[in-house]
Amino acid sequence: MATHEKVDVVIVGAGASGSVYAAVLAQAGKKVVVLEQGPDWQLKDLISSDFWGRRIKPASGPFLLEGKNPFGYVYQAGWGVGGAALHYFANFPRLLPNDFKIKSEHGRALDWPISYDDVAPYYDKVADDIGVSGDAKAEEKWRPAGKPYPMPPMKTFRHGEVWLKGFESVGIRMVPAAVGMNSTEFKGRAACIYDGWCHVGCPIGALANPIVTYLADAKKAGAEVRARSTVTRVLTNPQGTKAVGVEYYDDKKERQVQEATVVVLAAWSAQIPRLLLNSATDKHPKGLANSSGLVGKYMMAHFASGTWALFDEDVQNHMGTTGAQFMSYDRYGKTSHQGAFGSSFITAGSALKTSDLAGIPNARVDLFGADLHAFMQRAKRGLTRIGAFGEELPNIENRIELASDKDEFGMPFARIVHSFDQDAVALWNANFEEGLKIARATGAKESWSGRGNMPTIHLMGGTIMGTAAGNSVVNSYGQTHEVPNLYVAGPGIFPTGGASNPTYTIFALSLRGAEQLASKWSTVAG
Ligand SMILES: Cc1cc2nc3c(=O)[nH]c(=O)nc-3n(C[C@H](O)[C@H](O)[C@H](O)COP(=O)(O)OP(=O)(O)OC[C@H]3O[C@@H](n4cnc5c(N)ncnc54)[C@H](O)[C@@H]3O)c2cc1C
Ligand code: SF4
């Protein structure tokens, strides 16, 4: 075992949230080490092929997936430098003001300890830092005004445009989607070429993944990224009042200790509760930062209702990006659909290959043989899809807890127990119904709902933020209530998830937390 020279900050996880902390703190002159369990991916490893693309994703995880709607861990998780954000679709909607106060406005779920106005300046800063394309003015029909995006909207294609009259028929206003992709060259990074391979990573750097954005800034400012380093515990002083570093296993599976003045856990919503629970000591018998018993509780997912339509024309469905061309918050009100509760966020126009989209078949799964062949002949040029993401409310029964099985480092597996409630199912159904109405109004030859098992997308919660240790694990900056020099970053700190894809908010909250940490360094570091 080796103990490494003490640094100012050790960050666990080199994905979306960890990269922001690394950049801000390294630029503030701190000595930063980022420990990442997976490989040190480079742009040249991102090969535009579904088969090759599997290499950059986890093959499995140390989780037992349980409940009525087991969480789809492998599809959602990241593995390696860049995290899941290395190969995300970069849809960048934001949470809206109504997300921050559901409890006050509807008596349901939880309020955030902050409001939209606290996060809004950071949405603007992130857009300028990493590049967002979109039309902010057009979005401002649904949210308070902010800065324009640094790039104009992305190009649109026929497979998105064919849906517009359908949306109009039900009164849904679509605007250009906000995406973390370059519609023009941005800070020396290339403009998108619309070849639709974002889901296996963008080899030209047009997608705002961490390795070409915050992590590049962090390295320039002196941060060290140590790949193939799997963290198993946060270490604390004998009094249990301070984190003193982390234990990890290197590429040779040898135990190492990295001492640090501040520890930031940015290992995504699944791994962070597992790490905190596995860091129990006599001073923290239920796990670190867990006197409330809330570590691993209130796990949430989004679900999506996809509607397909087949056109008898070449709609260039292979072109574009895997993000959306158009989006709408017109069903974002919590009571937009009668008999259902929660927000919906609508997207249209992602590129579709004839093969699959990272494991989701772009075909009718009920067809075989000659029928499937005939369908694919038409689908290869005429298949299109829209989607509505739905909000799942926090439920304390949806949880992560340690299991008795152990991984190769002797660390207990965890179980993720997840079931959707009736509200979620009702919202899922309502969005399918409306999707079909929209599809029929497009004049498409055929349309159908993409029903299967109810999907679980974007894991959130598990280390939620709140006003005090009694109702939450961290404060609004991600600082744990119980151990002041231990921070948590990422979607785990969301107390509710809205219906918007989370990563724009993850970047914004991480920037807010990291800037606070840098400015309050002497108080936090002690
Ligand atoms: C296919 C796909 C499409 C997506 N599309 C969108 C989208 O359009 N819009 C959107 O907003 N979001 C999207 N997401 C989600 C988005 O990628 C995540 O929300 C985001 O990356 C989460 O950020 P994070 O920092 O919490 O975790 P990650 O970015 O996943 O980073 C966590 C890192 O921690 C590492 N790690 C975990 N455990 C340990 C450990 N014990 N020791 C060391 N390192 C560890 C992991 O290997 C990983 O690299 C998509 C995700 C996927 C997979
Ligand atoms: S469509 Fe654009 S962002 Fe996506 S992989 Fe291709 S060039 Fe990159």
Query: What is the DSSP annotation of 180-240?
Result: SB-SS-BTTBPPP--BS-GGG--TTS-B--GGGTHHHHHHHTT-EEE-S-EEEEEEE-TTS
Can you tell me the distance from the alpha carbon of 523 to that of 514, in angstroms, rounded to the nearest whole number? Answer: 14
Ligand 2 mean position to 181 CA, how many Å?
A: 8
Can you tell me the distance from the alpha carbon of 135 to that of 174, in angstroms, rounded to the nearest whole number? Answer: 11
Would you give the DSSP letter of residue 474?
Answer: B
Residue pointed to by tokens 């250009």: 176
- Supply 310's token pair: 């087949």
- 329 in ligand 1 pocket by Cβ < 6 Å? no
- Supply 274's token pair: 């597992």
Cα distances from 194 to residues 156, 177, 178, 346, 352, in angstroms, run 10, 15, 15, 21, 12
Can you tell me the distance from the alpha carbon of 105 to that of 84, in angstroms, rounded to the nearest whole number? Answer: 33
Cα distances from 70 to residues 6, 398, 403, 522, 525, in angstroms, run 40, 10, 16, 43, 40
Strand pairing class (32-35; 2-12):
parallel
3-class secondary-structure state, position 406: strand
Closest CA to 94 of 417, 483, 504, 401: 504
Number of CB atoms found within 10 A of residue 29's CB: 12
- 78 in ligand 1 pocket by Cβ < 6 Å? yes
- 307 in ligand 1 pocket by Cβ < 6 Å? no
Closest CA to 162 of 315, 312, 307: 315
Residue 376: predicted pLDDT: 86
Q: What angle do CA 144, 146, 147 make, to 5 degrees?
A: 165
DSSP 58-98: -S--SEEEESSS---HHHH---STTGGGGS---B-----GG
3-class secondary-structure state, position 522: helix
Residue 361: predicted pLDDT: 65
Can you tell me the distance from the alpha carbon of 179 to that of 123, in angstroms, rounded to the nearest whole number? Answer: 12
Cβ contact 209:201 at 8 Å = yes
Ligand 2 mean position to 193 CA, how many Å?
A: 6
Residue 32: predicted pLDDT: 98
Q: Which atom from ligand 2 is nearest to the alpha carbon of 351?
A: 1
| Ligand (nearest to CA of 198) | 2
Cβ contact 408:56 at 8 Å = no
Can you tell me the distance from the alpha carbon of 427 to that of 196, in angstroms, rounded to the nearest whole number? Answer: 30
Cβ contact 343:498 at 8 Å = yes
Residue 143: predicted pLDDT: 98
Half-sphere exposure of 405 toward its Cβ, with a 13 Å CA cutoff? 9
Can you tell me the distance from the alpha carbon of 467 to that of 481, in angstroms, rounded to the nearest whole number? Answer: 9
- Supply 476's token pair: 């609004």
- Give, using CA atoms, the residue closest to atom 51 of ligand 1: 88
| Ligand (nearest to CA of 154) | 2
Closest CA to 2 of 267, 275, 259: 259
pLDDT, tens only, 187-196: 999 999 999 9
3-class secondary-structure state, position 511: helix
Beta bridge partners of 263: 10, 486
| Ligand (nearest to CA of 182) | 2
Residue 110: predicted pLDDT: 98
Beta bridge partners of 309: 384, 447
- Give, using CA atoms, the residue closest to atom 7 of ligand 2: 192
Would you give the DSSP letter of residue 32?
Answer: E
Whole-model pTM?
A: 0.98
Q: What angle do CA 331, 174, 458 make, to 5 degrees?
A: 55
Strand pairing class (230-236; 383-390):
unpaired
Cβ contact 245:258 at 8 Å = yes
Can you tell me the distance from the alpha carbon of 269 to that of 65, in angstroms, rounded to the nearest whole number? Answer: 14
- Give, using CA atoms, the residue closest to atom 1 of ligand 1: 88
- Give, using CA atoms, the residue closest to atom 13 of ligand 1: 88
- 195 in ligand 2 pocket by Cβ < 6 Å? yes
- pLDDT tens for the chain, 526 residues long, are 778 899 999 999 999 999 999 999 999 999 999 999 999 999 999 999 888 888 999 988 999 999 999 999 998 999 999 999 999 999 999 999 999 999 999 999 999 999 999 999 999 999 999 999 999 999 999 999 999 999 999 999 999 999 999 999 999 999 999 999 999 999 999 999 999 999 999 999 999 999 999 999 999 999 999 999 999 999 999 999 999 999 999 999 999 999 999 999 999 999 999 999 999 999 999 999 999 999 999 999 999 999 999 999 999 999 999 999 999 999 999 999 999 999 999 999 999 987 765 556 667 778 889 998 898 889 889 999 999 999 999 999 999 999 999 999 999 999 999 999 999 999 999 999 999 999 999 999 899 998 889 999 999 999 999 999 999 999 999 999 999 999 999 999 999 999 999 999 999 999 999 999 999 999 998 7
Residue 412 has φ and ψ, to the nearest 5°, of: -60, 140
Residue 225: predicted pLDDT: 98
3-class secondary-structure state, position 4: strand
Residue 354: predicted pLDDT: 74
- Supply 280's token pair: 């129990």
- 123 in ligand 2 pocket by Cβ < 6 Å? no
Q: Which atom from ligand 1 is nearest to the alpha carbon of 275?
A: 41
- 417 in ligand 1 pocket by Cβ < 6 Å? no
**Beta strand extents in 330-398 (DSSP E only):** 344-348, 356-357, 360-361, 383-390
Can you tell me the distance from the alpha carbon of 218 to that of 225, in angstroms, rounded to the nearest whole number? Answer: 9
